[in-house]
Structure 1
């Protein structure tokens, strides 16, 4: 059955004077749902590769969506960032297990390998036309480890040069990482992790995104345990201990 479609990127789109077209493919809603499910499945595959990051991509995706909405973005924009959150670490599929799962300090060469995962991830999704634009999902994946002061990677971008979606994912990614047990670090409580992000607002993180985190803090604080209960994971953190960073001295927010 034909459906009306306004998506000019659709390969079956036929333009008319009104700018609409019809096609015999699945509806845009169905295609969007399928794309989201695929992104979720790929994110789960990455999390399965590194057992210290259980459910990490799912958390980053959901928290990124909440942050985007609290920044005033519309549902479509928030959904795009949500999908990018699922896929942000897809490049870790290309990182050797011996490096990704290493519990102790990494060598310089190993750290350089870890830093390739955003570039690998962007390259993986770029053949998909809808994900390819530099200011779209591929760009969010590529730049989610950039930091506001230019201290991130892979390109050392700073400030507004970092795509807004990547700035959102950076906060969600760091928050989730600090709340999860890692081989080199016990999880922090939400209050501890939030305080760390707040302390780095304006240097590592976009202060507007951190303000959105503050506005949505109660929702986000409740979201983590709810998601973890649904996944059968522990919902409370052991008392935090100083992290044994697995890289030469790189803070956790750069290695999540």
Structure 2
């Protein structure tokens, strides 16, 4: 439509100009026609430039308006890099971030890069120079002739840099926090002043994104720290399950990544896994810490922890994208055949994330050494039980297949070795209420194997006593909660 309007305006204005010129130069039609054609050509190029500029900037602002639709930072930066290359008609674009502590630049996005990441000292190469000085660098001649250019990346990738436009990313406090670099303009004229202005516009947007991402990251880090502390407090209430929540989280997240779930789904699952047992805070100690199997009545009380989990987590103001955390966390005991709890959901009624969480929770419970109601199962036996539950219609076969074939159960390798030497370690005697003595007592081991740690002590430890152990190995220390399963008095002591 714009082109049609421009065409008729062009013809009409041309006729008017020609008539005026003819009247002024009525004895020279040829001269009038020549002047008319010159003016016509000038008008054509002027308005063509204006229209092209309008179309170009319309495309620029169209790209910028799309930035708000991206919630994942890495995806957003990839979109920006690709858009810059397309708008500026260049071969590649890279977005560098500044790490002031290490005095380096590193690429959060390096379009079509054959190596995973570029790391440059600030001051090295064109991008490093821009990060150091804050100057805009535009090179349309052979960049290899510029003393600021470093060919190291070209040598690593096989790419040949010819022309460069590099602009600093500056935050509101005038700090240089990154660099956007565009390589190899595809036309022969090289990068223009307009290209420079457009790249500055994108740098301003990237600065806002980085600042918002850093602020969001700090808030998210605080949230994760609080959630992990919350889960650790719940785990500590029942020493037999210490570390269970974090192990379940690792299993579940690994499954989700293998299933190619998006970053928001993975984060929801991570939080739900960390917090899936917080409802146990509402279970009486007489049941939660009971040695041996529950009575039917006690089991019914224990099952309420899933609903309590949802009630507690629903009171936390999660970000909107993580609003499903309370529901997913509360459904980790639901089975595909409807025999689970708390709601007896069936099949697709159970969200995928809850089905993943259920598998992770069951597997960790099966292999755990510290459950009072059962012995630990080997990996092979635990996997066998998972497949038996698939055959019974309780677990999602696709999830189990991924978990087993990709060996996602190997987040921690418990090597079955025996240490036939004395190793120093410390322990604290714990009561059922998890009260600890003030100072650890040093002792010596007799041997360590898959069956446990055997040691000699001057104190008596009745079977079932929980103790906190620190094991001092040559290069590292192991801290854990242990339960005494066997105790005997040595003659003469």
- Relative to the length of structure 1, the TM-score reads 0.75
The structure that has the greater radius of gyration is 2
| CA-CA distance at 1:191 after TM superposition | 1.5
1:249 is matched with: none
| CA-CA distance at 1:25 after TM superposition | 10
Of 240, 255, 263, which aligns to 1:75?
Answer: 263
1:225 is matched with: 413
2:394 is matched with: 204
CA RMSD for the aligned pairs?
A: 3.1
Q: How many residues align?
A: 216
Contact residue 126 and residue 132 of structure 1 kept, 8 A:
no
2:312 is matched with: 124
CA distance change for structure 1 residues 24 and 224 in 2, over 3 Å: closer, same or farther?
closer
- Per-residue CA deviations over 1:172-223 (Å, capped at 9, x if unaligned) read 0001001112112111111211121122125111112112212331x432x1
Of 181, 192, 196, which aligns to 2:381?
Answer: 192
1:154 is matched with: 342
Distance 1:72 1:158 in 2: 24
2:248 is matched with: 60
Higher strand share: 2
- Per-residue CA deviations over 1:43-84 (Å, capped at 9, x if unaligned) read 111111111112100100111100111112123321220111
Distance 1:236 1:171 in 2: 28
| CA-CA distance at 1:153 after TM superposition | 0.4
1:254 is matched with: none
Distance 1:6 1:38 in 2: 29
Indicate the SS of the match to 2:413: helix
- Kindly report which structure 2 residues correspond to 1:4-19, keeping only aligned pairs within 5 A, or say none: none
Task: Single out whichever of 102-111 and 143-152 deviates more from structure 2.
Answer: 102-111
Of 152, 169, 175, which aligns to 2:363?
Answer: 175
Distance 1:108 1:23 in 2: 55
Distance 2:320 2:291 in 1: 34
Of 40, 56, 81, which aligns to 2:228?
Answer: 40
Distance 2:325 2:449 in 1: 32
Contact residue 46 and residue 90 of structure 1 kept, 8 A:
yes
Specify every segment of 5 or more residues in structure 2 that has no aligned partner in the other structure, as ranges.
1-66, 72-204, 415-447, 453-493
Distance 2:357 2:367 in 1: 15
Higher helix share: 1
CA distance change for structure 1 residues 132 and 89 in 2, over 3 Å: closer, same or farther?
farther
Indicate the SS of the match to 2:235: helix
| CA-CA distance at 1:104 after TM superposition | 2.6
CA distance change for structure 1 residues 134 and 37 in 2, over 3 Å: closer, same or farther?
closer
CA distance change for structure 1 residues 143 and 177 in 2, over 3 Å: closer, same or farther?
same
1:216 is matched with: 406
Q: Which has the higher contact order (CA 8 A, sep 6+)?
A: 1
| CA-CA distance at 1:7 after TM superposition | 9.4
CA distance change for structure 1 residues 59 and 5 in 2, over 3 Å: closer, same or farther?
farther
Distance 2:310 2:70 in 1: 23
